[in-house]
Structure formats: C-alpha cells, structure tokens
Amino acid sequence: MKNKSAYFKTDILSGMVVFLVALPLCLGIALASGAPLFAGIIAGVIGGIIVGFMSSSQLSVSGPAAGLTAIIVAAIGSLGDYQTFLAAVVLAGVLQILLGLAKAGTISNYFPSNVIEGMLAAIGVIIILKQLPHAVGYDVDNEGDFFFIEKDTGHNTFSALIDAVNYSHIGAIIITLISLAILIAFNKVTFLKNLKVVPGALVAVIAGIAINELFKSSGSTLAISQEHLVNLPVPQSFDDFLGQFSTPNFGAMMNPQVWIVALTIAIVASIETLLCIEASDKMDPLKRYTNTNTELFAQGTGNILSGLIGGIPMTSVIVRTSANINSGGRTKVATIAHGVFLLLAVVTIPTLLNKIPLASLAAILLMIGYKLASPTVFKHMWRYGQYQFVPFVVTVAAVVFTDLLKGVAIGLIVSIFYILRANLKLAYFFKKEEYHEGEEITIKLAQEVSFLNKAAIKQTLSHLPENSKVIIDASDSFYIDYDVLQLIRDFLSVGSQDKNIQVRITGFKEEYKMENALQHVTSH
C-alpha cells in the first residue's frame, strides 16, 4: 500500500468533486427538512471536517442525509420551534456516543453482502431517476429528496419523469449534454484521464456556468433562470452571516418529546451510518476496514456540534462517499478537504456558487449513479446464483420503491429466508437406492455447523441404510453447535446400534469429548 501522502493530490481533487456534489444536497435536504438552508451547510462542514478527522474510515463522507428529512420535518412540527429541535439533535449526538462506547457498531458485521450490494445499486438507480428531471431543467423536486413518493408535489418518481418531459428546458438539456461529454471524456480519453491538475467535474461545472452566462448576455431564451441554479443564502453583512446560526433551547430538555425525537434520530442516523460504512468498506479499492464503534463516536460528536450552532443532524452518506471513491479519494484528506472547500466557498464566493446550473450538477450525479448501478453489477450478482441474486434484486426494488431503511429491512428478511433455506435443505441426504452394500459412506461436516444444520444432519443419519459403514468427518469444522454434537452422540449410542451401522468418527476437537460417546458403542 502506498504512503498516505502519495494520495494527497488526488484526495484534494476528489474533495473538490465531493464539495460540488455536497453543496446542492446540503441545501436541498435542509429545504426538504423544513430547516433553514444554512443549517444544511453547517452539517456538511462539520461532517466533512470534524467527523472526517475523528472517523477511522478513510473514505466515508458525512453530512445531511435524505433518510432523516421526514423525521426532521415531523420533529420540528411536534416540538414547536427549531431551537427545541436543536436540543434534540445535541441529545441524539450524546446517545450516539454512548452507542459507540457500548460497541453497538458491531451489528454492521451482520449485514449480508448481497443486501449491501443491492442497497448500493438501488441508490444508483434512485440517483439516475431523481436527477433526470434536473438534467432537463425540471427542478420542482428538491435536491436530496430520494423518496419514491415526493411529499412536496404528491407525485412519485416515475410521474415526475413524465412531467419532466413536458416541462423540459432546451438550455438545461444543452448544459447537461455538454457536462456529460466532459465527464465521459475525463473518464475515457487517456490524456484527460491522466491529467491530475483539475477534476472533470469542476471543468463540467465551469463550462455550465460559462455557457449559461453566454446565453444570458446574448438575451437567448436558452438562458437558465435563478430557480434552476444553486440557491445559497447570501448574507449582506457580517451580522447577517452570524444571524444564520442558532443555539439550542436546553430548557426543553425536560420535555419527554425531545427525548423521543433524540432517540429516533440517534437510532436512524446510526443505522444509516453503519450501512454506509459497510458499503464504503466494500467499495474501498485498498480493502480497508473501519472501526464502526469509533464511527458512531465520531458521528455523535458531529451531531452535538451541529446542534449547538444550528445545524441539522448528519450521517455517513452513500452518495457523497461514492463520489469520493469514484473521483480517486483514498484517504480522509478528501473528506476533510470537501468540508474545508464547503466552508470557504459559502463564506467567500456565495454569489459565484449561485451561478452553477443544477443541470451541470445533475450530470455529475448521473455519472455517479451509473457507476453504482451499472449492468456489470447485476451480471456479477447473477453469476453467484439465486441465493445471492434474489435478495440483491429484492433489495434494489424495495429501496427504490420505499426508502433506504425499509428497503434494506425487506432485503434482510429475504436474505435471512435464503440463509435458512440453504441451511435447512438436505445437504447430506443419502439416497438409499444408490447405495451398494459394503460401500463406505462419508458424511463430511461443513466449516461451521450451527443449530440450523441440525434438521439436515438428523435427516441424513435417519436415512442411512442398515448394516452400513459410516465415517463422520469433522476435520474441516471450526465450530459445531452443541445440539448437533448431541445429535451425533445419540446416533452413536443408540441410532447406529438399532440399524447395525459401524461408525467411525474423525477430526472432532478434543473439547467435544466425542470419544466418550464411542466408548458406549458396541463393536459390530
């Protein structure tokens, strides 16, 4: 593995790409959450700089998450004011720190890879479906709204696509196509691919601004109006800037509703974070592993700081993390850099940022979506067979048509069903009609024999023919469940004698004390 400093230049460039992706998402998620727009920027900056620094993940990028928008809207409404909601955010951060200290992050080890792969592909599909309207200039839906049912319009993802055809804007389409052409060129043309001075995404955004300014200066009808550009709050004075920050109402801490909101945010944000961490580790080209307990501690710290100065809650986010990895980010320098860029840009050049067409940003996100949900991913999962492919494809569909957590939950249920089915099927079933008298039968146990295998092994032993010779081989087994060991002992002491079966056991660990069971077997 290279020294981390060797990745510094590519990490900075990747941080720039993630910044371009994060900016509209921070604003869009804040707007969809019913919070001040600047609250999304606060969460994005803290997620990049503070959580990025504290996290043990080299690739994960944190910030406002689409999955929390419905919770935030409901919480602000039920608590009555934004300052009381901020108290709940701070409290949620404290609860996340406690979860990290309690080592709750280890539950991520139990997310099946087919469900994680399905979640990533689904996010790719959602990004494509949600960005196509923005790509043609139909910007009714907020950036960062990844729900199938669009609560602001009452439409769903597919009806929005139909509306987009009717309300498309030629100028936006031109900018999208040119931006896509630039991004594809930077991915395919060798000279541009090896050009490590500027990322293709930045070139695409600059080109989008330049083209739209040209349209405006010429008085063309192709010019894109302000509602189809980035819409960052622009303070008119330093006092206006400071006025964008808020502080929590700690006096509301005795309100039970605040604790309920805090617990909800802590649980949902933690689950989404663990899902994203598991996904980012799977996508990591350097195959590193993240300490998920440290991640929960970092996320909790980030949410405490965000709540203290007026930001909305955050999680580790798949869209930003995918943008980071696909852009060449390899260490946490990229994550931190994106937070620094976000902070500097909103403080120094908000007016320039407000010239960025959403169509250019849609082009960047479309490329990210395609990489996550490319046909290659589906072919790859198909080759692994139905036990991997079916839970994968169910997860994809469930996430697309519901939301991240519900979709993953459905995928987990299907995956567990297939795990149980694989364990309960008769892997060692002995066909009596194919047995020739005098042949020796070998039953080789798997590496891990759990209680789920008990039914299959019991069925196998009961179907062994009379007067046969059997070897039960556990030489490859690292773990054998107590119930299975007891089943084999009963077979040795009773079942084998009833059918006059000669049994030899081999490979069992000493601590299983299987020799004691053999002592009771009468020699045949």
The predicted model gives 355-383 an average pLDDT of 93
Task: Please work out, in degrees rounded to the nearest 5, the angle formed at the alpha carbon of residue 33 by the alpha carbons of 28 and 39.
Answer: 70
Q: Quick one: pLDDT at residue 512?
A: 81
Cα separation, 10 vs 157, in Å, equals 35
Residue range 319-341: mean pLDDT, rounded: 95
Percent of the chain with pLDDT over 70: 91
**Closest to 357 (Cα-Cα) out of 211, 478, 244:** 211
Model pLDDT, residue 434: 60
The pLDDT value recorded for residue 140 is 76
* pLDDT at 5 (0 to 100): 77
Q: What per-residue confidence (pLDDT) applies to 524?
A: 42
- Are the C-beta atoms of 47 and 320 separated by less than 8 Å? no
* 426 band by pLDDT with thresholds 50, 70 and 90: very low
- Hey, CA dihedral for 201, 203, 208, 213, is it positive or negative? positive
Round the average pLDDT of the chain to a whole number and report it. 88
3-class state of residue 442 by DSSP? strand
Q: What is the pLDDT of residues 91-131, one digit of tens each?
A: 999 999 999 999 999 898 888 888 999 999 999 999 998 88
Amino acid at 216: K
pLDDT average, residue stretch 504-517: 79
What is the end-to-end Cα distance of the chain in Å, rounded?
A: 61
Provide mean pLDDT across the span 192-201.
83
pLDDT of residue 304: 98
pLDDT (average), residues 442-461: 80
Confidence at residue 278, expressed as pLDDT on a 0 to 100 scale? 92
Is residue 359 within 8 Å of 228, Cβ to Cβ? yes
Handedness of CA 473, 475, 477, 483 (dihedral sign): positive
State how far the alpha carbon of 194 is from the alpha carbons of 167, 189, 203, in Å: 39, 9, 15
Sequence spans of domains, the chain: 4-408, 432-518
pLDDT of residue 477: 81
The pLDDT score that the predictor gives to residue 200 is 92
Rounded mean pLDDT, 78-90: 96
pLDDT given for residue 6 in this prediction? 85
- The tokens describing 92, both together, are 């949620």
**Residue 425 — pLDDT band, cuts 50, 70, 90?**
low
* Beta-carbon-side half-sphere exposure of residue 65 (alpha carbons within 13 Å): 29
- In this prediction, residue 452 carries a pLDDT of 74
In this structure, the strands spanning 440-444 and 315-316 are: unpaired
109 φ, ψ (degrees, to nearest 5): -65, -15
CB 319 within 8 A of CB 62: no
**DSSP-assigned letter for residue 168:** -
Mean local confidence (pLDDT), 18-36: 93
Q: How far apart are CA 287 and CA 377, in angstroms?
A: 18
Structure tokens at 49: 């700089």
| CATH homologous superfamily of 432-518 | STAS domain (3.30.750.24)
pLDDT at 517: 60
Helix (H, G, I), strand (E, B) or coil at 502: strand
Q: Which helix (H) or strand (E) holds 504?
A: strand 502-506
To which residue do tokens 């900056």 refer? 45
Span of 51-60, 151-160, 291-300 with lowest mean pLDDT: 151-160
pLDDT of residue 17: 96
- Mean pLDDT confidence for 161-181: 90
pLDDT value of position 499: 84
Whether residue 121 contacts residue 393, with contact meaning beta carbons closer than 8 Å, is answered with: no
| Predicted pLDDT of residue 212 | 96
pLDDT tens for 205-238 read: 999 999 999 999 999 999 999 999 999 989 989 9
Burial track 143-181 (b if 16+ CB lie within 10 A, e otherwise): bbbbbbebeeeebebeebbebbeeeebebbebbbebbbe
Identify which of 171, 301, 185, 274 has the alpha carbon closest to the alpha carbon of residue 225. 171
pLDDT band at 519 (very low <50, low <70, confident <90, very high): low
pLDDT at 407 over 50: yes
Q: Which two tokens stand for residue 69?
A: 């928008």
Mean pLDDT of 188-210: 89
Mean pLDDT of 482-500: 86
Backbone angles phi, psi at 441, to 5 degrees: -105, 130
DSSP string, 404-418: HHHHHHHHHHHHHHH
The CA distance from 358 to 429, in Å, is 61
Look at residues 235, 424, 290, 299 and name the one whose alpha carbon lies nearest to residue 47.
299
- Rounded to whole angstroms, the maximal C-alpha distance in the chain is 101
- Name, of 81-95, 149-163, 391-405, the range with top average pLDDT: 81-95
Of 140-154, 168-182, 485-499, which gets the smallest average pLDDT? 140-154
Residue 433: the pLDDT is 52
| Residues across the chain | 524
User: Are 462 and 491 in contact, with CB atoms under 8 Å apart?
Assistant: no
Query: Tell me, what's the pLDDT at 311?
Result: 97
pLDDT of the residue at 387: 81
d(CA 353, CA 205): 10
Q: Report the C-alpha gap between 403 and 68 in whole angstroms.
A: 11
Average pLDDT for residues 4-13, to the nearest whole number?
88
Q: Is the pLDDT of residue 523 over 50?
A: no
